[in-house]
Amino acid sequence: MNSHNQPQKSDVVLGGTSPNQALVMGGVPGLKQALYRTETITQRQEILQSALNYGREGIEIVLQFLRHQDKELRIFAYSLLCERKEDYVQQALQLFSPSGIYYLYLQKLLRSKQWGAANQWTIANLKLLCHAHLQLNSQNFLYLPCADLLLIDRLWQETSNDRFGFSTQAVIWRQCTQLRWDQNQAMAMFGDRVGWRVSNILFNSYHWKRYDDLNFSLRAPRGHLPWINGIFVVKAIHDRLLGCKNNI
């Protein structure tokens, strides 16, 4: 029988400090039962800490808490795992940021080519990270955590073969600023290249696309997605991304 399922000295004790009051929960099943019965965050943290004594089965329990609805428990689980060397742990942590966001759902949306839903998820979580209650603006991105920005960018690039993503947009933005000294002209050129702006040559006019008019498919121009708040935040994202990459 697996020794991890048997009571050990490190097992969780619930219900009191004396043997007559306490209920000793045995092994991994006991850990799971204790987590289910315990309501306070402090007690759950103690149980998660003890789970590391039970090999991979215990570590898998901690990994599950990366998806927990409580942000404090998610971050605590991350703190327990971030120094571990196991490949399966490091692979799971690649989708988790120290901010407490687990990016597995975004990865699933992108891998299934649900570009519109992925764009909405990206906007919602950038607002959360930047503490923005309304539309995101240039100032918001000054405080965007680098770990999150780089992870979001990596997922968009990996799943679109570099067609989409902030890094792709940054390359196009730099090209436009090199060809146009005036920033308004650079913004117009960028909009034309990524398909956010529609020009009417006959009438010498143009208009910027609304969000609902964007092309949420791989047939869209290079750099078309993600769309955060249109052209108004492209430079801010570019500058923050460049700063984050320089600090790696």
Token digits of residue 133: 């209650």
Distance of alpha carbon 126 from alpha carbon 128, whole angstroms: 5
The CATH architecture one would assign to domain 104-246 is Orthogonal Bundle (1.10)
CA angle 48/51/54 to nearest 5° reads 170
Ramachandran category for residue 126: left, alpha or beta (phi over 0 → left; psi -120 to 50 → alpha)? alpha
Contact 57, 31 (CB under 8 A): no
Calculate what percentage of the chain has a pLDDT beyond 90.
Answer: 73
- Choice among 34-38, 105-109, 218-222, 226-230 with the minimum mean pLDDT: 34-38
Greatest C-alpha distance within the chain: 89
CA quadruple 57, 61, 62, 67: dihedral positive or negative? positive
Token digits of residue 56: 């991979």
CA angle 192/194/195 to nearest 5° reads 65
Task: Indicate whether 238 pLDDT > 70.
Answer: yes
> Domain locations in the chain?
3-93, 104-246
pLDDT mean across residues, the chain: 88
The predicted pLDDT at position 180 comes to 77
Distance of alpha carbon 25 from alpha carbon 136, whole angstroms: 49
pLDDT digits (tens, 9 = 90+) for 78-103: 999 999 999 999 999 999 999 999 99
Report residue 8's pLDDT band, with 50, 70 and 90 as the boundaries.
low
Token digits of residue 152: 């979001």
Residue 62's closest CA among 71, 229, 186, 74? 74
Residue 151's closest CA among 99, 195, 187? 99
The predicted pLDDT at position 19 comes to 31
Task: Indicate whether 7 pLDDT > 50.
Answer: no
pLDDT digits (tens, 9 = 90+) for 67-78: 999 999 999 999
Residue 67, number of CB atoms within 10 A of its CB: 13
The predicted pLDDT at position 1 comes to 47
The predicted pLDDT at position 58 comes to 94
Contact 122, 128 (CB under 8 A): no
Task: Indicate whether 11 pLDDT > 60.
Answer: no
Residue 77's closest CA among 136, 35, 30, 138? 35
Contact 135, 123 (CB under 8 A): no
Distance of alpha carbon 77 from alpha carbon 100, whole angstroms: 10
> Rounded to the nearest 5°, which phi and psi values hold at 199?
-105, 145
